[in-house]
Structure 1
Amino acid sequence: MRALPRLALAALTAAATVAVVSATADAAADPSPITVLTSDFEDGTVQGWAGRSAETLAHSTAVAHGGTGSLLVSGRTATWQGPSLDVLGTFEKGTAYTISVWVRMASDSDSARLSVERRTGGVAAYDQVVGNTAVTSGAWVNLTGRYTLATDVEFLRVYVETASTTGSLHIDDLTVGYVPALPVQTDIPSVKDVVTEFPVGAAITGAEIVTEHGRLLTKHFDSVTPGNALKWDATEPSENTFTYAQADPLMAFAKANGLAVRGHTLVWHNQTPSWVFTGADGQPMTATAEDKALLLGRLENHIRNVAAHYGTDIGVWDVANEVIDESRPDGLRRSNWYNVAGLDYLRTAFRVAREVAPHAKLYINDYNTNVPAKRDFLFTLVQQLKAEGVPIDGVGHQVHININWPTLAETESMLTKFIPLDIDQQVTEMDVSIYTGDGESFPTPPADRLLKQAYVYRDMFALFRRYSNEITSVTLWGLADDNTWLDTFPVTRKDAPLLFDTRLQAKPAYWGVADPTRIETSPSASVSPSVSVSPSTGTNPGAGSCAVTYRVTGSWPGGFQADVKLANTGSAALTSWKASWQFTGGQQISQLWGGTVTQSGATVTVGNAAWNSGLPAGGSTSFGFLGSWTGGNPVPAAFTLNGTACTVL
């Protein structure tokens, strides 16, 4: 995995506020949200908040997000100092809470984040709820994220801290709530029962092994990958001090439920503590014989301890992760590992892993292996190391992709490239982003994107199953859309890359894997990503031969989201389409999906995209958009399709 963000953020307004919005399989069936905590600071007190050290907390009327009061935190001498609130008696294990708080600096500019500190047996752990978010003294910024308590604790506090400065800050209008969980669907096929050619797994954190998450996991998957709990920073944070507090509960759950475990990962350039690369002289290591010997000794000691701790409970290890950089002439990533030890760090890692875990399959794992240059460099490296006798058993393809990339042909070439090496191949971290560029952001996943995603999953799994003689496992990088690293990478926005939505309900993507014939009849499917055109085609519908449904699906101060459904109610199919209307409230479209848009003043014209140009007789298609408004947001009164007036439903 390339980063480790945890929770969802999605930009909603031009004021840089941040919010989480859940996509549901059937919004009408959702229970009502329940609020469990609020702090509005309107009573002149600090309402139970305390500092994390010696900072001063006081009620303030200098600025307020709502009403007249806020909480002022001053006298901070470290960035981690800030306001904290005890939630031990409020949070229940396994419940997904949405935490929202407004933050404003008193004078400086900085980045603020929202976190949780928990303690078990006197040992503290820290969970990030919202990552670094720019905050100034000129405006309030909303930090909103999800948090699920996954373990028993004796201490639990929510807190706000900053990234760089120790200036004073204000907070206001905290709310904490949850939506009662929907039960896991038991009347749908289990993925593991449908896909029998190889095990199908999911990456997990502690939040995925409790309550409904745990039931969803065991119903559908054969194996698990601890997403972060086995990495170096989690298992050996300081030299020769090993801890398995994060991983042990995941391993116990897997063993109790008969789930195989992929170990991830023993060597990586990320999430490795700085002490690993610090020499005996206290300086950063360089390519000296002394530093190389010290580094390889630390590597051997780490692998001997971590791999031995779990013994035969882990049958597959990602020994080395992301060692290729195709921008280099030789294709080798210039990590600290390589800069100090050259390829000897890989030789050492695989040799020691084989000695400690002779039963396990040992993998070298990387992303973008469908890219020819990266694929070829990885092939050459594995070929070289195997020729030297390095015990590499397989290649892991991460397969972090999106709805438009890569092609099936590129993915198939990725698989066929490694067949001559006579090694196993696994898909290790698959997810399919609904986004095709960093500039996109949707408050809720558009239906057409979810459908396109479903067809990507359908086609990719069909390809993997054709190559089941080569592929020995497929793992998704997450269980459901409520906990995905893509919510904060490569930019902060709510993504929906997995088979189950934020309420743990099956998406069209699930049906793409379980039963592709049901993709367009699943609850989230309201449009088709492609439609066949009947032999009789035309360019204009006849009079009264089209109908339009315009629906505002979300609204906030100054902005909104809307969906438009076009139905061809005539007898002639269309090879292309163009819809037009007038905005009478000064609305402006800022982003549109499912088509191409032009706007001149009040006049909006939306044409088909390349993949949905055909509109057969009796067929329909949809598009959606984000827009802004000032004085009002009235629904357009009239629409045309290819120049002909339509019925407005």
Structure 2
Amino acid sequence: MNPPPRRRVRKVVVGLTALAATAATALVLPSFFTAANAAADPVVVKSADFEDGTTQGFTRRGTVETVANSTTVAHAGSRSLAVSARASSWQGPQLDVLSTMQKGVRYTISVWVRQASGAGTAPYGLSVERRLTGTTTAYDNIVRNVSVSDSGWTQLTGSYTLGNDVDFLTVYVESQSGTFDFFIDDFSMSYVPAQPVQTNVGSLKGALAPYWSQVGAAVSPSTILAGKADLLKIHYNSLVAGNAMKWDATEKTEGVFSYGDADTIVNFATANNMKVRGHTFVWHNQTPAWVFQDANGATMTATAANKTLLLNRLKAHIDALAGRYKGKISAWDVVNEVLNEDGTPRNSMWYQIAGLDYIRNAFTWARAADPGAVLCINDYNLTVGSKRDGMYNLVNQLKGEGIPIDCVGSQMHNNINWPTASDTSAMLDKFAALNVTQQITEMDVSIYTDNTSSYTTVTDAHQTALATRYKALFDVFKAKASLISSVTFWGVSDDDSWLQTWPIARLDAPLLFDSQLQVKPAYWAVTGLNPSGTVTTAVATTTRPPTSAVPTSAVATTRPPTSAVATTGSTGPCRVTYAVAGQWPSGFQGDVKVTNTGTTAINNWTLTWTFANGQTISQLWNGSVTQSGANVSVAGAAWNSSIAVNATVNVGFLASWNDATNARPTAFSLNGTACTVA
């Protein structure tokens, strides 16, 4: 009898804000975006409609249920496949795809499901079972917990990429609970022929090299194959295993270790001169039940004996895992997600049984097992004040006790409206006082700002909002690059993002490369590159380069930008340089530099100017903007509100223009005093 599938617990992102009117932005996406992301038609490699009166290759997973062709109900046509007499929820129909599914190819798999009459509603899932002789059977979820009723048909659909050698491979449908009879119909498995990886767009790791020596991505064995392997080699020099090094993947049974997937990732990284981040020794999720069972097999309670047993298991696990990869891991997420949102310790089984000693010992044992690795405490929502303060207090306390915490890792699971640049800056400044390095460990930006919405397409407005948010955050990261030792994105391309299935199954686009491995506007916003793959002059010559959501050479300029204005006669303690960084029909990107040419620092600055041709700012970074008619007022952000003598701050914005010209302003005032215009 086959066991039920292993459940992969996903991280939770909180603090999402209400959806803003991002679709109203004036930014027009360049023509290369649509062309680069146009996918070929899908190729169907397996289908079943049951209209021939057979099961069309579907068989039962267990030994007692019945799988038979039926005319009772049908999604289309007159027949479907009926599943009845189940004894367990995992029992149901399966289809052998061993000879059809190719390793490294991303397949879209879908099936329509309906409960039998009178069965009501229950959650269903679509999964893959795979195994290789001599290895443990694995269960990979394609989609889970979709409500299916007895009053209509529901489609289960998702994507799957095989990343392992197998000699047994099936796709199956199961209920997550209950043993009601059900029907399936119109099964399909298809793939879209891959587009070549772009080689003329520069390199993410190269563009960010002036800031960080490690630019990474979370991977699995399926994402280091074929085109994604090529993409990784071009753009990344660091990898982290999304799941392959977690406890349930490496030590499902006490003392029995399985390193197959982790070895595959580490070996790929080593062969391609990439660093590896280890993730993670200790987490409250994806930890096998036996870890928290006492000597008699019962769930642990807070006793001295159980604390000793639990910590002994933790030490054995760390010694084994860190020992195997000693010298091959640049940094370890030693403990993961240990705080509540209010900054207090998470009341996990770890904390209930061992208090803070599980954290103290985990770091101490990790240092002994791999002295050369940077040891991090990793969590999400550290841009939120209460949680940030809680993390600061915890790390400050433990470091004061001599616990070897080298690093605070911020996951940075974001959305198109959140967090703000100022909150992100405050986070980096807060932990700088702890004398630790900081790492951005799980970066992505969802196009959703709630847990229930679902879009059928990713629109140009979504791409614009995504690029804008990425730029705002990376402007802060770059300005404070000395505080950050590495940046890691949580996935390679949109199709392998965890956000495709969490918090619900829905289309999302949270990364810099789309499902066809093509660059998106967010890529240009982060890198400051243009489509020819070269770095702009500004990026090459400044320590904090302005980047662009739309590269200037990627769009057709129908109205040429006007020339720079001449220097005015004003001689105030400031100098302003205004430039049009990019211009396209109905929109442009502006760049404003303010230099303190006086003899004292300028604090809490506000810069004002007047547009002459009806220009209207829609997005601004590195400050806050108000505009009344033609009059614009820009105030500094929390992290750049003071301009030291001879220092320069940079503000960028996106704006619309609808007149015959796009003239630059001729006069600027800083805190009410006129500035020289350069």
TM-score (structure 2 length as normaliser): 0.75
Whether 1:102 aligns to 2:109 is: no
1:575 Cα offset (Å): 6.0
State which of 83, 88, 100 in structure 2 corresponds to 1:78: 88
Provide the rounded CA distance (Å) in 2 between the counterparts of 1:99 and 1:146: 6
Write out aligned runs for 1:30-179 (5 A): 30-54=39-63, 55-107=65-117, 108=119, 109-123=121-135, 124-179=137-192
Say whether residues 1:483 and 2:511 are aligned partners: no
Query: Matches of 2:352 and 2:548 in 1, distance apart?
Result: 52
Cα 1:255–1:347, aligned 2, differ >3 Å: closer, same or farther?
same
Distance 1:345 1:41, change over 3 A: same
| Contact 1:451-1:529 at 8 Å conserved across structures | no
CA distance in 2, matches of 1:119, 1:271: 20
Tell me the residue number matched to 1:616: 658
Change (3 A) 1:327 1:417: closer
Give the aligned residue type for 1:389. Answer: G
- Distance in 1, matches of 2:250 and 2:207, equals 36
In the alignment, structure 1 segments of 5+ residues that lack a partner are 6-22, 540-572, 577-610, 621-649
DSSP 3-state at the match of 1:311 = coil
Task: Give the letter for the 1:617 counterpart.
Answer: D
Deviation at 1:31, TM superposition (A): 2.1
SS for the counterpart of 2:550 is: helix
Give, in whole Å, the separation in 2 of the partners of 1:2 and 1:466: 35
Partner Cα distance (1:460, 1:382) in 2:
24
Question: Residues of 1 paired with 2:386 and 2:60: CA distance?
Answer: 52
Instruction: Confirm or deny that 1:457 pairs with 2:470.
Output: yes
Structure 2 residue matching 1:296: 3-state secondary structure: helix
Q: 1:219 to 1:332 in 2, by over 3 A?
A: same
Work out whether residues 88 and 154 of structure 1, in 8 Å CA contact, stay in contact via their aligned partners in 2.
yes
Are residue 436 (structure 1) and residue 449 (structure 2) matched?
A: yes
Cα displacement (A) at 1:28 = 7.9
Give the Cα separation in 2 of the matches to 1:218 and 1:287. Answer: 48
1:567-616 deviations in whole A, cap 9, x for unaligned? Answer: xxxxxx9969xxxxxxxxxxxxxxxxxxxxxxxxxxxxxxxxxx999663
Cα offset for 1:455? 2.2
Secondary structure of residue in 2 paired with 1:246: helix
1: CA distance, partners of 2:49 / 2:71: 12
Helix, strand or coil for the counterpart of 1:456?
A: helix
Q: Measure, in 2, the Cα distance between the counterparts of 1:29 and 1:452.
A: 20
Kindly, what percent of the aligned residue pairs are identical? 48
SS in 2 for 1:482: helix
- Aligned AA (1:326): E
Equivalent residues of 1:324, 1:333 under 8 A apart = yes
Partner of 2:519: 506
Structure 2 counterpart of 1:535, which letter? Answer: A
Aligned partner of 1:395 in structure 2 is 408
Aligned partners of 1:24 and 1:501 also within 8 Å: no
Partner of 1:374: 387
Q: Classify the secondary structure of the residue corresponding to 1:313.
A: coil
Post-superposition Cα deviations, 1:43-64, rounded to whole Å, max 9, x if no partner, equal 1111111111112111100000
| Match among 243, 250, 253 for residue 258 of structure 2 | 243
Task: Please give the alpha-carbon distance, in whole angstroms, between the structure 1 residues aligned to 2:134 and 2:42.
Answer: 33
Q: Is residue 280 of structure 2 the alignment partner of residue 265 of structure 1?
A: yes
Q: For 1:332-351, list aligned pairs within 5 A.
A: 332-351=345-364
Query: How many Å apart are 1:517 and its aligned residue?
Result: 3.7
Shift in Å, 1:462: 2.5
Deviation at 1:438, TM superposition (A): 2.8
CA contact (8 A) 1:200 1:474 kept: yes
**Distance of 1:75 and 1:618 partners within structure 2:** 74
Q: CA deviation at 1:2?
A: 7.7
2:130 and 2:138 in contact (8 A); partners too:
yes
Compared CA separation, residues 24 and 99, structure 1 to 2 (3 A) = farther
Residue pairs, 1:147-226, within 5 angstroms: 147-196=160-209, 197-198=211-212, 199-226=214-241
Q: What whole-Å deviation, never above 9, does each CA across 1:323-378 have from its counterpart, x for those lacking one?
A: 111336xx111111001100000011011101111111100001011111111110
**Alpha-carbon spacing, 1:158–1:274, altered in 2? closer, same or farther (3 Å):** same
> Does the CA-based 8 Å contact 1:520-1:527 persist in structure 2?
no
| Structure 1 segment 557-596 matched on structure 2, within 5 A | none
Q: Is the Cα contact below 8 Å between 2:10 and 2:502 reproduced in 1?
A: yes
Partner of 1:551: none
Distance 2:661 2:184 in 1: 51
Is the 1:538–1:574 contact (alpha carbons within 8 Å) kept by the matching residues of 2?
no
User: Which of residues 1, 10, 15 in structure 2 aligns to 1:3?
Assistant: 10
Question: Retained in 2: the 8 A contact 1:531–1:616?
Answer: no
- Aligned partner of 1:427 in structure 2 is 440
Tell me how far apart the structure 2 counterparts of residues 465 and 351 of structure 1 sit (CA, whole Å). 32
Query: Could you tell me how far apart the structure 1 residues matched to 2:128 and 2:615 are?
Result: 60
Secondary structure at the counterpart of residue 156 of structure 1? strand
The Cα of 1:144 is off from its aligned counterpart by 0.8
Task: Report the CA distance between 1:419 and its aligned residue.
Answer: 1.3
Aligned equivalent of 1:474: 487
In 1, Cα distance between equivalents of 2:172 and 2:660: 55
The answer (yes or no) to whether the contact 1:520–1:526 under 8 Å persists in 2 is no
Please say if 1:519 is aligned against 2:550. Answer: yes
Amino acid at match of 2:303: T
Matches within 5 A, 1:6-17: none
Equivalent of 2:311, from 275, 285, 296? 296
Q: Deviations along 1:607-646, whole A, 9 cap, x unmatched?
A: xxxx9996633799xxxxxxxxxxxxxxxxxxxxxxxxxx
Checking the alignment, whether the CA contact within 8 Å between 2:416 and 2:465 is kept in structure 1 is yes
Rounded Cα–Cα distance in structure 2 between residues aligned with 1:210 and 1:376: 41
Using the TM superposition, give the Cα deviation of residue 487 of structure 1 relative to its aligned residue in structure 2, in angstroms: 1.8
Distance 1:574 1:27 in 2: 38
The alignment's C-alpha RMSD in Å is 2.7
One-letter code aligned to 1:493: R
Q: How many residues align?
A: 533
Q: Distance in 2 between matches of 1:384 and 1:335?
A: 20
- Assess if the C-alpha contact under 8 Å between 1:192 and 1:221 holds in 2: yes
Native 8 Å contact 1:362 1:393 kept in 2: yes
C-alpha distance in 2 between matches for 1:538 and 1:110: 55
* Structure 1 residue 306 displacement after superposition: 0.9
Following TM superposition, by how much is the alpha carbon of 1:121 offset from its aligned partner in structure 2, in angstroms? Answer: 2.5
Residue 468 of structure 2 contacts residue 549 of structure 2 at CA under 8 Å; is this kept in 1? no
SS of residue in 1 equivalent to 2:496: coil
Gap runs ≥5 in structure 2: 1-7, 13-31, 529-546, 556-582, 591-609, 617-626, 631-652, 663-678
1:230 aligned residue: 245
